[in-house]
Amino acid sequence: MKPNFPWWTRIKGRVLFFGIAMSIFPLLFLGWASFNAARLNLEHNIQEVNHERALAFSEQIREFVDNMAASLTHVATTNTAFLMGSDPEKRLSVLNTVLREEPYLDEIRVANFQWKILDEVARREVIPPLQVPGRLSLSFDAKVPYSISPINFSSDGRPEFYLTVPVTDALTRQTVGYLQAKADLKAMITKLSNWRIGQRGYFFLVDERGRLIGHTDFSHVLHQDDVRQTPSVTAFLAGDSPSSEGNEYSNPQGIRVMGLFAPIGIPNWAVIIEQPIQEAYQPIYDFARKLLLIVFVAISAVTLISIFFGLRLTRPIEHLDAEVRQIIATGKLEHTLSPESQDEIGRLVLSFNQMLAMLAENHQKLEAEKELLHTVVGGIGAGMALLDREQRILWWNSIFAEWFGHGDLLGLSCADIIRGEGLDCMLLVSGQIISLNVNAEHRRIRQMYYNLSPSQPEDATYLLILEDVTQRAEMEARMIETDKMAAIGLLASGVAHEINNPLAVVSAHSEDLLDRLNDTEEPKPTPDDVKDVLHMVSEQILRCKTITNRLLHFARKGKPGTDLIDIGRSSEQTSTLLHYQAKQKGVQLASRIEPNLLVWGNENEWQQVILNLLNNALDACVSGGQVTVMAWRDHTKDTIILEVKDTGHGIPATLLKQVFDPFFTTKPPGQGTGLGLFVSYGIVQKMKGQMTLDSSEGKGTRVQIVLPTHDQKA
């Protein structure tokens, strides 16, 4: 059976994903970290090399100028007499000799102390004899060994500068003249341009104003390219300190380069080196390609290894899953799984086989218990059903089906099946007794329900139990009726005496009226006398009627079921029937009852409760005793409390636990049935109340009944 869930939620998918991820991400991270470290190291090395080149170029230029100045100073020192003498041929000979020996000089001239030019020679042009002596256009500081003029550009765009050294007297060490030479900067740059900066790298030279005075490609100098906006030149002009870490920027041709500068000092020029980024970082790119290839090979190898071991790890688990699904599909718990390995998964398979054996054994036990439970539930004699939240039937036993039909009851409403007097299947009060027609017979059914705790909305919410209490109800009714008849028998003598008094009054007045009508000597009674006698007779007859009505009201068989009754009024009427009996015994019967004490119950049954309690209280009292009936509403607990207290002989503490047992009595033989408190206790329980009895031997007894209250709208 194939699993019906996505592959990425399976153990195989997660193991493979984890193995591949642990293969790729660490290697990628290590590769990235290695590449970054190598890149930073290569960048630093490239910048260091270019910085050293720039320093070397600036040192070469400074040495070139220093050597040229030293050569001129040596000539000026050793040939002072010839240079400053009056023989022009010797002076020109010295100048021509210097011009021949210094290949980087284009012109050379000598001037006296007043800067007047005495003679001059040039390499590329013929200078005629001086008609009017010229003057050097440069001021000279005697404190420095030589002076360099600002860069000038010739007519063809070549940069030029003049180097001037003093001519001193060997004896006096005084300056007697000046020797000045015009240097060929292009020749010097051409010599330095033989130094290679990669394949496409280059350097150039700028003066103190940022003008381009030298370049590897001298055409840029001839075209007078403006390089003052270049970041390296800008940093030099701003006086920033040179750094070995170059800047990346675009040159005037739009090519991204890495540039740095090195100042020369004297002269105040700077050497700038620029190398294209693509070329400078070419080793980094080569290293990256090699590193990617190595990482790819490593990832592929580790991934294949992870897949191999991942599949080998998950194959036993998949085999176990397949066999378990087969067991679930077939329900064969006696099946035994075969282990494929001796590792933890193999031990898991063995443990699963043990669990299967235990499940099979427990399954057999459950089947036996299910059969036993089915037998018990079917033979318990009560109808049982499980209901959902909407009180629809989910399950029922055989008794329930026997009472309400053998058809399919699943999903039917409980209220549609159970119809009778009372609340039917509303499940408002557990333990209520309803009247039903079961199989064409009138039955009394006790309806009980229990709230369950369903985990799902469709699970059973209620357990409904219907118990046939017809025989018990009839027996209780007969018992109550028997006890009631016994109580009526006890009341009969008192009622007879109560009726004798008004009958005696009627008889006396009737005989007196007849005697007066028959006596011929006495004056005849007037119509008013007759009216008075008839009025008296009518009152006494009404009194007799009231007494008999009370007795008849108590003795009549009440209707079954419950209703809203006023227990205060019913208790008052019942106690009135016992006034004569209390008077005969010399016992004071008092009552303090609040009005409108409404409860659910049967009035006829409640009268039986009060009559039993009062009879017991009167029997326990002797002449001079007192029986008190009290009833009131407890607003804090929303209950009604009724108490019957007497000052009789009480009940021994050893017998208090037996007072509610049937046929138990403390009265002498022949004076009690032992059913009074038993019947009363059952009636109070039916009314959802509580009945307690407290007694002290020799001091009296107190019986308290607590009932739930109901308002007038109930």
CA angle 673, 676, 682 (to 5 degrees): 130
Residue ranges in 117-178 assigned as alpha helix (H): none
The CATH fold assigned to 380-467 is: Beta-Lactamase (3.30.450)
Q: What is the per-residue pLDDT for 640?
A: 93
Tokens of 151: 């860069």
Give the separation between CA 56 and CA 52, rounded to whole angstroms. Answer: 6
Give the separation between CA 202 and CA 218, rounded to whole angstroms. Answer: 11
Give the separation between CA 429 and CA 423, rounded to whole angstroms. Answer: 9
Q: Are 109 and 127 in contact (CB under 8 A)?
A: no
What 479-484 contacts at long range (C-beta under 8 Å, 24+ apart), as own/partner pairs, is 479/675, 479/679, 480/605, 480/608, 480/679, 480/683, 481/557, 482/673, 482/675, 483/608, 483/612, 483/673, 483/675, 483/676, 483/679, 484/554, 484/555, 484/608, 484/611
Phi-psi region of 644 (alpha: psi -120 to 50; beta: other; left: phi over 0): beta
Per cent of the chain over pLDDT 70 is 75
> Quick one: 89 exposed, middle or buried, by C-beta within 10 A (0-12, 13-18, 19+)?
exposed
How many CB atoms are located within 10 Å of the residue 127 CB? 11
Over residues 392-421, the pLDDT tens digits come to: 888 877 777 777 775 677 777 777 777 654
Over residues 358-395, the pLDDT tens digits come to: 888 887 888 887 777 777 666 667 878 888 877 788 88
Q: Which CATH class is domain 79-188?
A: alpha beta
Over residues 614-643, the pLDDT tens digits come to: 888 888 888 889 999 999 998 888 899 999
Question: Quick one: 559-714 is in which CATH superfamily?
Answer: Histidine kinase-like ATPase, C-terminal domain (3.30.565.10)
Least confident of 138-142, 157-161, 181-185, 338-342: 138-142
Q: Are 629 and 590 in contact (CB under 8 A)?
A: yes
Tokens of 185: 């900067």
Domain 469-557 sits in CATH at 1.10.287.130
Tokens of 323: 């066999």
CA angle 419, 424, 430 (to 5 degrees): 145
240, pLDDT greater than 80:
yes
Q: What is the per-residue pLDDT for 714?
A: 38
Residue located via tokens 């010839």: 82
Q: To which H or E segment does residue 119 belong?
A: strand 117-122
Q: Where in the chain is the domain with CATH 1.10.287.130?
A: 469-557
Over residues 190-239, the pLDDT tens digits come to: 776 666 677 788 888 888 888 988 888 888 888 888 888 888 888 888 88
Strand partners, 564: 600
Q: What is the per-residue pLDDT for 129?
A: 61
Who contacts 256 (Cβ-Cβ below 8 Å, separation ≥6)? 248, 249, 250, 276, 277, 278
Phi-psi region of 210 (alpha: psi -120 to 50; beta: other; left: phi over 0): left
Tokens of 670: 């022949």
* Identity of the amino acid at 701: T
Q: What is the per-residue pLDDT for 128?
A: 64
Who contacts 598 (Cβ-Cβ below 8 Å, separation ≥6)? 564, 565, 566, 567, 709, 710, 711, 712, 714
Q: What is the per-residue pLDDT for 498?
A: 58
Rounded to two decimals, the pTM is 0.42
248, pLDDT greater than 60:
yes
Q: What is the per-residue pLDDT for 627?
A: 92
Over residues 493-538, the pLDDT tens digits come to: 556 555 655 666 566 666 666 766 676 666 676 776 667 667 666 7
Give the separation between CA 651 and CA 563, rounded to whole angstroms. Answer: 35
Average pLDDT of the residues in 24-30:
77
3-class secondary structure, 442: strand
Q: What is the per-residue pLDDT for 417?
A: 72
Higher pLDDT, 138 or 382: 382
Give the separation between CA 208 and CA 213, rounded to whole angstroms. Answer: 10
> Quick one: 702 exposed, middle or buried, by C-beta within 10 A (0-12, 13-18, 19+)?
middle
Average pLDDT of the residues in 232-247:
82
Give the separation between CA 607 and CA 567, rounded to whole angstroms. Answer: 9
**Alpha carbon distance, N-terminus to C-terminus of the chain:** 63
Q: Are 639 and 447 in contact (CB under 8 A)?
A: no
Over residues 656-712, the pLDDT tens digits come to: 777 777 666 666 655 555 566 777 888 888 888 999 989 888 889 999 999 998 764
Give the separation between CA 318 and CA 332, rounded to whole angstroms. Answer: 19
Give the separation between CA 39 and CA 27, rounded to whole angstroms. Answer: 18
Q: What is the DSSP letter of 587?
A: -
Q: What is the per-residue pLDDT for 1?
A: 46
Q: What is the per-residue pLDDT for 490?
A: 59
CA 541, 543, 547, 550 torsion: positive or negative? Answer: positive
* Identity of the amino acid at 372: L
Q: What is the per-residue pLDDT for 9?
A: 58
Give the separation between CA 603 and CA 168, rounded to whole angstroms. Answer: 154
Q: Where in the chain is the domain with CATH 3.30.565.10?
A: 559-714
Q: What is the DSSP letter of 153?
A: E
Give the separation between CA 444 and CA 434, rounded to whole angstroms. Answer: 6
3-class secondary structure, 120: strand
Give the separation between CA 369 and CA 349, rounded to whole angstroms. Answer: 29
Who contacts 378 (Cβ-Cβ below 8 Å, separation ≥6)? 397, 398, 399
Q: Where in the chain is the domain with CATH 3.30.450.20?
A: 79-188, 380-467
Give the separation between CA 356 and CA 335, rounded to whole angstroms. Answer: 8
Average pLDDT of the residues in 464-481:
70
Least confident of 202-206, 329-333, 554-558, 655-659: 554-558
Who contacts 262 (Cβ-Cβ below 8 Å, separation ≥6)? 51, 54, 55, 57, 58, 242, 270, 271, 273
Q: Which of 250-254, 329-333, 471-475, 594-598 holds the top average pLDDT? A: 594-598
